[in-house]
């Protein structure tokens, strides 16, 4: 099976995670995909294959050298984002892309255009896998899984290429911030690892946001509208008041680079009760703490304004900036840079405006920078991945294993 065939097979599985279930994996359909992957790894001849009850899949490609070589790991997540449907994905390949608009869905007028997504023009002449405009694609992170599995298949087909022990790990629930929570670092048994979960070709990342989730619950008081004066409290209007207090110029749509933000990701309401869900992000740890304090201060401010305790807040940290854990072992970055260069790509070291499982794993004792998987426009119907980018990412996995053996 080729890399592209693997990827197209993988995206046929609906693996959307859910932050509402409270179990791991958060959806049973992720386990269906995990069982399929387990069977494929068995057929490839990998060893020490284990799928645990939480949907974490581990496997080993044994070393083919007697020399002492560090064990390196490669990790990708199986779930797709709750932001857009991942059911019945219908990908197609646009060969030799010419720089024009790509009609994803003519009946619904959905077009992937370089006018809106100028990064398309960086991939003229390449072969793009796109959606039909009704679902996401799932390159985040099934491209990463396909690249890792294909690299293991390449090593099996090329026993003459020396490598040490390689561990692969595929986990659920990354998209809801829980991918690394039950990842067994001790069992994985690596000195360092890499997540294949980045975007544009060449990307290498070892800085990410500090992240927290904040859920406001607002209680209202419903009274017949004909007799409501001085009695009714419409929780949705209180929610609107709260939203007006959050800085309008500190959202994902108004920030870039190292700038943090507040992002409203969910709103459910009626007169009696409304809930608002935000995510809080900042690369700077001190500024991150200030942002959390600001959100907490809104509760006191609004309750004082309305004269009763209408607003409550549940807030919890999700992950932290991995930079402080990677800098003491900077050689793992040097290896990745060299591997990317040897694959014929210019390394692009940048901070992630998001997070990866590698951030949490780094804080659990497994240094784990992030490498590009090749996809773009994640989490929506305009997602696409150039085949040539996936091929380059697979080459980087191979090169890293080779370099570790040489070092």
**Token pair listed for 184:** 């067994």
Looking at the DSSP bridge assignments, the partners of residue 204 are: 349, 371
Which SS3 state, helix, strand or coil, does residue 327 take?
helix
Catalytic residues: 79, 174
Which SS3 state, helix, strand or coil, does residue 280 take?
strand
Residue 55 main-chain phi, psi, to 5 deg: 90, 15
Round to whole Å and give the CA distance between 37 and 243.
Answer: 43
Round to whole Å and give the CA distance between 389 and 395.
Answer: 10
DSSP state for residue 19 in the 8-state scheme: S
**Token pair listed for 300:** 């006191």
Which SS3 state, helix, strand or coil, does residue 111 take?
strand
**Token pair listed for 74:** 């490669």
**Token pair listed for 214:** 């904040």
Contacts 24+ apart (CB under 8 A), 283-291: 283/207, 283/208, 283/209, 283/210, 283/258, 283/321, 283/351, 284/210, 284/258, 284/260, 285/210, 285/320, 285/321, 287/260, 288/210, 288/212, 288/260, 291/212, 291/260, 291/262
Round to whole Å and give the CA distance between 347 and 175.
Answer: 26
């Amino acid at each position: 099976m080729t890399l592209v065939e693997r990827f197209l097979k993988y995206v046929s599985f609906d693996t959307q995670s859910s932050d509402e279930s409270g179990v791991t994996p958060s959806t049973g359909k992720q386990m269906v995909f995990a069982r399929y992957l387990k069977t494929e790894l068995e057929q490839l001849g990998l060893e020490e294959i284990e799928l645990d009850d939480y949907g974490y899949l581990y496997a080993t490609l044994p070393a083919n050298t007697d020399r002492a070589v560090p064990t390196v790991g490669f990790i990708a997540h199986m779930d797709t984002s709750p932001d857009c449907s991942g059911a019945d994905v219908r990908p197609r390949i646009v060969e030799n892309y010419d720089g024009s608009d790509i009609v994803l869905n003519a009946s619904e007028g959905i077009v992937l255009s370089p006018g809106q997504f100028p990064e398309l023009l960086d991939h003229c002449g390449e072969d793009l896998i796109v959606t039909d405009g009704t679902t996401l694609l799932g390159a985040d992170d099934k491209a990463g899984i396909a690249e890792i599995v294909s690299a293991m298949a390449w090593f099996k087909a090329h026993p003459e290429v020396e490598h040490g022990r390689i561990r692969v790990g595929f986990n659920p629930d990354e998209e809801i911030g829980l991918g690394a929570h039950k990842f067994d670092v001790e069992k994985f048994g690596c000195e360092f690892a890499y997540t294949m979960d980045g975007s544009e070709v060449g990307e290498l990342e070892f800085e990410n946001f500090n992240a927290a989730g904040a859920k406001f619950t607002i209680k209202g008081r419903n009274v017949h509208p004909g007799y409501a004066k001085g009695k009714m409290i419409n929780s949705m209007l209180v929610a609107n008041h709260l939203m007006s207090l959050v800085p309008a110029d500190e959202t994902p749509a108004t920030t870039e680079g190292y700038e943090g933000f507040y992002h409203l990701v969910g709103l459910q309401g009626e007169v009696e009760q409304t809930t608002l869900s935000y995510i809080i992000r900042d690369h700077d740890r001190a500024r991150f703490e200030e942002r959390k304090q600001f959100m907490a201060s809104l509760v006191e401010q609004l309750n004082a304004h309305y004269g009763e305790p209408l607003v409550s807040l549940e807030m919890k940290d999700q992950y932290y900036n991995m930079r402080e854990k990677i800098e003491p072992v900077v050689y793992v970055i040097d290896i990745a840079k060299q591997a990317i260069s040897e694959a014929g790509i210019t390394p692009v070291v940048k901070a992630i405006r998001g997070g990866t499982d590698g951030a949490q794993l780094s804080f659990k004792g497994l240094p784990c920078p992030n490498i590009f998987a090749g996809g773009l426009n994640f989490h929506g119907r305009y997602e696409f991945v150039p085949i040539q980018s996936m091929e380059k990412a697979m080459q980087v996995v191979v090169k890293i294993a080779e370099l570790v053996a040489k070092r």
